[in-house]
Amino acid sequence: MRIVEIFTSKQGEGLWTGTESTFIRVGGCNLRCSFCDTRYASWEQTEGKDLAIEEIVGRVLLFGRNHVILTGGEPMLYTEMIPLTEQLEAMGHTITIETAGTLDSPVRCHLMSISPKLSNSTPKDADEHIIKRHEINRNRPEVVRQLIGRYNYQLKFVIDSINDIVEIELFISQFPEIIPDRVLLMPQGVTAEEILRNEPRIMEYCEKKGYVYCPRMQIIWYGNRRRT
């Protein structure tokens, strides 16, 4: 499995924000989002090494954190995720998987952190066939339904502008089973100023709907830096 980096930090997003964690970042992604902040680990795929599961597990052990976050890129691309998550769980680790919710696989996971990609993710500067592939792959409600049915989950939506709310509500309306406090609205931004700019309106909307306002705390804590 292609691994770009393994490091420790605090989880900066979502229901388990603040949890000391070991992050395993895999390389490769089936999407190409306009706002992707891990291009080196997704479609540009400039970094990484193929590591055996034993080696990955060994590195996780060295860091000594209970909570392990599988992120990317798109972790669900790899069938090796099944034995990797089985081993991690057998060793007593708590596992979060961060995924765009376009691929399903019978992995072991204690929090499936799904970030469905809205039309604001569509790249404008890419070749036509790449834009088309992104559009075909990005919206897979049948996969999201499977994931939220099987796992403890959170649904994170990246908001560019408050107008994105209409599309989010349309998406959510396909899943009457979704619990409102599992819906997280996250302002787009790579600086604290950008993140905070939309804060009041998004917070107000979250309060009204019972959703959770979710700033990217790693940007606020550390700035836009890798391995955070």
Q: Which residues bind ligand SF4 (CB under 6 A)?
A: 29, 31-33, 36, 38, 42-43, 72-74, 100
C-alpha 116/C-alpha 121 separation (Å) is 10
Q: Which C-beta is closer to ligand SF4: that of 73 or that of 215? A: 73
Pairing of strands 2-10, 20-26: antiparallel
C-alpha 185/C-alpha 104 separation (Å) is 23
- Cα 126 to Cα 70, 123, 131, 133, distances in angstroms: 27, 6, 6, 11
Rg of the Cα atoms in the chain: 17
Q: Which C-beta is closer to ligand SF4: that of 43 or that of 171? A: 43
Encoded tokens for 106: 């019978």
With CA atoms as reference, report the closest residue to 14 among 176, 218, 173. Answer: 218
Q: Which C-beta is closer to ligand SF4: that of 100 or that of 168? A: 100
Q: How far is the CB of 105 from ligand SF4 (least distance, A)?
A: 16
Q: Which C-beta is closer to ligand SF4: that of 71 or that of 198? A: 71
Q: How far is the CB of 213 from ligand SF4 (least distance, A)?
A: 20
DSSP codes, 35-88:
T-S-GGGTTS----EE--HHHHHHHHHHHT-SEEEEESS-GGG-TTHHHHHHHH
Q: How far is the CB of 207 from ligand SF4 (least distance, A)?
A: 27
Q: Which C-beta is closer to ligand SF4: that of 36 or that of 183? A: 36
Q: Which C-beta is closer to ligand SF4: that of 36 or that of 214? A: 36
82, amino acid identity: I
C-alpha 227/C-alpha 72 separation (Å) is 12
